Structure 1
Amino acid sequence: MKEYIEALLFAAPEPLTQSQINGIFPSENIDLNKIILELNSEYLKTGKMIYIKSIANGYQILTKPDCHLYIQRLYNKSRKIQLTQAALEALSIIAYKQPISKNDVEYIRGVNCDSVIKTLLEKDLVTLKGREESPGRALLYGTTQAFLECFGLNKITDLPKLKELTELISEGNTPTTLFDATE
């Protein structure tokens, strides 16, 4: 069964969940977590340049960071999404306060966010989550599955807490490139 799971992980375009496995093998009682641990152990023992990571409530086969340069050469372009400071600010506000209206994002940032939110929507990092119940029924924004995948998060609650961020910044850990994703 492990070999079939490995093949499915290899073929899946997005993280594969336990419920998807249950749907593919309805008569089997498969412990996906156990199989993932076994596969990762085998990859480590044999020196494979791949591993399986828990992302967005599922599992995905990834290449080790050591391979990045060679994979980049294969595709002959950088796969990093570059965001402006304004877009990063708006994205963090949306991620931590979702669902949130554009007006609330603008209030927090103190400037108009029309083009920034449009960019985040185009890059599939945020999506519409509904409307406010108050008069005017403003659109509400939240993060997407692609956001979780880009940041390597399993769920939105995996985001660092404010105290952790403050400690990272005070230590000078402010990476310029935040995440990998397709453009």
Structure 2
Amino acid sequence: MSDLKPALEAVLMVVDEPAAEAHLAKVLDRTPREVADALHELADEYTADGRGFELRRVAGGWRYYTRPAHAAAVEAFVLDGQQARLTQAALETLAVVAYRQPVSRSRVSAVRGVNCDGVMRTLLQRGLVEEAGAEPETGAILYRTTNYFLERMGLRGLDELPELAPFLPEADAVEPDSLEGVPSFDPDRDEPADEETTEA
């Protein structure tokens, strides 16, 4: 295994998406077990040495990531004062797709209470969501998150998404009288509310 770990490091340095163990094994002419063991050993070594990067298994493969402890330094270098983040509207829309997928645009709009067509186009262009067939009843296109979404979020799968309950307001905390005039958005209705024209 003495030459396997350096070979894995060299390959992982040039991948632009998580590399699967089976693919690495085929390329390096090793067994999947040998590759898996070597990858875990490398990951443990980087952690033990306190390196500024780590080797993580996400979205069905392995890839190098900078450690969260050094996020500020990396952000300062990459952005250099430029903000290239998703808007709040895009983040909210992405969250709805992630937790309700596969889901149609009209249902996402119903959950958010605004038209989200423009935001969905942005998420599609960035490769964070993709088409996932059509709704049998209406023929509406359904959307789901992509492996790129998992990669960017550092997740192995959708089952690692955090539970929503801790972030929802407690029912007892809202006085009944205070609900008057507050719109109620039914995620299962098909008609979106007033269009939100400023999102991008």
Give the alignment's TM-score, normalised by structure 2: 0.71
Equivalent AA in structure 1 for residue 85 of structure 2: Q
> Which residue in the other structure is 1:51 paired with?
54
Q: 2:122 aligns with which of 87, 109, 119?
A: 119
> Which residue in the other structure is 1:147 paired with?
149
Contact 1:51 1:61 in 2 (8 A): yes
What RMSD over aligned residues (CA atoms) do the two structures have, in Å?
2.5
Measure the CA separation in 2 of the matches of 1:139 and 1:64: 38
> Which residue in the other structure is 2:110 paired with?
107
> Which residue in the other structure is 2:97 paired with?
94
Measure the CA separation in 2 of the matches of 1:44 and 1:83: 31
Does 2:127 align with 1:130?
no
Measure the CA separation in 1 of the matches of 2:83 and 2:59: 19
Equivalent AA in structure 1 for residue 158 of structure 2: I
> Which residue in the other structure is 1:65 paired with?
68
Q: Which runs of no fewer than 5 residues in structure 2 stay unpaired?
A: 170-200
User: For 1:60-99, what per-residue CA distance to the aligned partner results, in whole angstroms no more than 9, with x for missing partners?
Assistant: 1122234445544554636864223322221111101111
Q: What is the aligned residue count?
A: 166
Equivalent AA in structure 2 for residue 117 of structure 1: M
> Which residue in the other structure is 2:9 paired with?
6
Q: Give the secondary-structure state (helix, strand or coil) at the position aligned to 1:161.
A: coil
> Which residue in the other structure is 1:38 paired with?
41
Measure the CA separation in 2 of the matches of 1:29 and 1:85: 42
Give the alignment's TM-score, normalised by structure 1: 0.77
The higher radius of gyration belongs to 2
Q: 2:19 aligns with which of 16, 19, 30?
A: 16
Q: Which runs of no fewer than 5 residues in structure 1 stay unpaired?
A: 168-183
